[in-house]
Amino acid sequence: MLLKELLNNIEVIKVKGNIDIEINDVHFDSRLIKKDNLFICIDGFKTTGHLYVRDAINRGATAIVTEKEIETDDVTVIQVENARKVMALIANRFYEEPTKQLPVIGITGTNGKTSITYMVKSILEFHGKNVGLIGTISNWIGDIEREAVRTTPEALDLQKIFAEMLKEEIDTCIMEVSSHALELGRVEGCTYIIGVFTNLTPDHLDFHSNMDNYRNAKKKLFYKTTLCNIINVDDFHGKIIADEIKKLRVPLLTFGIKEKANIYATNINVDIKGVHFDIHMPVGTRSIYVKIPGIFTVYNIMPAIVICYILGLSLDEICVGLNGMKGIPGRFEIIEEIKDFAVIVDYAHTPDALENILQSAKEFAKNHIITVFGCGGDRDTTKRSVMGEISGRLSDYSVITSDNPRTEDPLKIIEMIESGIKKVTDKYKVVEDRKSAIEYAMKIAKNNDIIIIAGKGHEVTQTIGKDVLPFDDRKVAIEIARKEGLI
C-alpha cells in the first residue's frame, strides 16, 4: 500500500520526504523490519523505539513514524503527536479495516473475560458457526490455535489476526479487551458490535494508579460499539458506567442478581460439579445448568447467553449448546485423576477472584480447604497483602509460594503476602518453590479436603528473572500424585 494512502486522514505534525512510496509491511519492533517497511517508534516503559531508528533503516525501513524530530535524509519521516494511536490507525488501514466487515464482540472487566469468550465460542460452535477468539489463553481462528503473547495484541498484530479471520470466513470474533489495550490505544479504529462489562475490582493499579482511571480505561470500549452494550449492574463500577452510557444511541442491556436488571438470575444452586439457576430475559425464562462451579459462573453465563441470542440463536438452542460445553482450561479445573481429595487449578490472581473462588469452595467443602498461591512479580504490589488476608480468612491452611516472580525477589513478594495473612491467622507456611509448595499441600491433605492451586490456571511456564521455565500446575499435581501413589 502507498504510504500516502496509509496516512490518509491521519493527523500529522510534519512530513519530511516522499510519501508516494510503496510500503509492504509495518512494524513497531526494529528487529522485524525488512526492505520497504514502515517502522513506528513507540515510547515504551523500558526503552523507546526512537533509539532503534538507525537499526530499522539498516534493515530496510524506508519510512519512520516518530514522536520526536529525527535527523536523517535517508528515509521519509512522519512526525506525529501520539505514535501508539497512529500505529493503531495505520494498522487498521494496512489490513483494510477488517472490523467493518467482521462482527467483533469485545469483553472487558477485571475477571471473567476469558471465561465468557470460551463459553460463547463453545455455544456458537455447537451450532456450526465458525468462531474466532482473541484472548489470554490462545487466539483461535476457527480450529486453528495461535499462541497469545498478550490478552489483547498490539494493534498491528490484532488487525492482522482480524484480516486472517476474514480470509478464513470466520462468522464472529469474540475477544477480550484489556484495560492496557484500551489505555494504550491498541484497539483504536476497531468497531465492535457488542461490548460487555464483567466487573471492576483492584488490579493493575501499578499501571492505572487508581480505580477511576482503571474504570475510565474500560469505559472506552462502550463508545466503540454499534449494536448494544451489556453491563453487570451488581458491580459498583458497572453501575457508574451504565449510568454514563445510557444516553448513547446504542442500546444498553443490564444484567445482575442483586440489582434490578434487564437480565437476571434466580434459584441459584452451586455444587462442586457446576451451577444451576433460572435466567430471566425479556424474551423468556429458562432453567440453566453449567458444569463450571462458582457463583461467578452465573455472572459469566448471563452475558454469554445474551450474546448468543443477539447473534441469532434461540433460547432453546443456547440451552442445548450449554449442555455440550466443555470446561475452560485452568478455570476451576478439577484434576480428575486425583480421588482422595480434590485438587482444583484456578487462574484467580486478583483479590476478588481469590475471594470468590474460596467462597465458592467453602459452599461445598466437606472438610478443609488448603490454598496454594503467590503473586506475580513486576505487577501491582498492592494486591499482595490483600490476597494474603483473603487466603488466611477463607482457607483452613495456606501455602504461600511463587507465581512468576519475574525480575523481583520472590521472597520479598512472599513477605508482602505474609504481612496480610499474619493479621488473620498463623495457619500458613511459606514454600518458595512452587512445585515443593504443591507437594507440601498434597502431603498434608486429608480425605475430602480441597486443595486450590490459584494464580496460574492455564499457564505452562514460570518466569523467574528473565528465565521462562516450563511449569504447569496441573501436570505438577499429577506428577506428585503419581509419586505419592495417589493415582
Ligand X SMILES: N[C@H](CCC[C@H](N)C(=O)O)C(=O)O
Q: Using CB under 6 A as the criterion, which residues of the chain lie in contact with ligand UAG when the complex forms?
A: 28-31, 42, 44-49, 52, 150-152, 154, 178, 180-181, 184
Question: What backbone torsions phi and psi does residue 393 show, to the nearest 5 degrees?
Answer: -75, -35
The reply to whether 456 sits near ligand X by the rule CB under 6 A is yes
Give, as one character, the DSSP assignment of residue 25. Answer: E
DSSP string for residues in 215-253: HHHHHGGGGSEEEEEEEETTSHHHHHHHHHHTTSSS-EE
Give, as one character, the DSSP assignment of residue 108. Answer: E
138 is in an annotated binding site: no
- Within 127-156, the residues that bind ligand X by CB under 6 A are 151
List the strands of the sheet with 274-281, edge to edge: 144-147, 138-141, 131-134, 172-176, 104-108, 192-197, 225-232, 252-256, 263-271, 274-281, 284-290
- Minimum CB–partner distance for residue 111 and Mg ion (Å): 8
- Nine cell digits for residue 169: 470466513
Q: Distance between CA 475 and CA 404 in Å, rounded?
A: 17
CA 463 to chain centre: 18
The reply to whether 300 sits near ligand ATP by the rule CB under 6 A is yes
Q: Which one of residues 376, 388, 410, 420 is an interface residue with ligand X (CB under 6 A)?
A: 376
User: Residue 309's closest CA among 241, 263, 250?
Assistant: 263
| Residue 404 touches which member of ligand ATP, ligand UAG, ligand X, none, C-beta under 5-8 Å by kind | ligand X
Cβ–Cβ < 8 Å for 297, 282? no
- Within 429-468, the residues that bind ligand ATP by CB under 6 A are 457
Q: Which is nearer to Mg ion, 187 or 313 (CB)?
A: 187
- Minimum CB–partner distance for residue 214 and ligand UAG (Å): 11
115 is in an annotated binding site: yes
Q: Which is nearer to ligand UAG, 113 or 129 (CB)?
A: 113
Binding-residue pattern over the window 299 to 338 for ligand X, x denoting contact by CB under 6 A: ----------------------------------------
Cell 504490589, located at residue: 381
Q: Distance between CA 293 and CA 477 in Å, rounded?
A: 20
Q: Which is nearer to Mg ion, 175 or 399 (CB)?
A: 175
Q: Which residues bind Mg ion (CB under 5 A)?
A: 113-114, 136, 176
User: Cβ-count burial of 69 within 10 angstroms (0-12 exposed, 13-18 middle, 19+ buried)?
Assistant: exposed
- Minimum CB–partner distance for residue 200 and ligand ATP (Å): 10
Q: Which residue sits closest to ligand UAG, CB atoms considered? A: 44
- Minimum CB–partner distance for residue 209 and ligand ATP (Å): 18
Q: Which one of residues 134, 348, 417, 464 is an interface residue with ligand ATP (CB under 6 A)?
A: 348
Beta-sheet pairing, 61-66 with 37-40 = parallel
Q: Which residue ranges make up the annotated binding site for ATP? A: 109-115
Q: Which residue ranges make up the annotated binding site for meso-2,6-diaminopimelate? A: 379, 403-406, 455, 459
Q: Which residue ranges make up the annotated binding site? A: 30, 109-115, 151-152, 178, 186, 379, 403-406, 455, 459
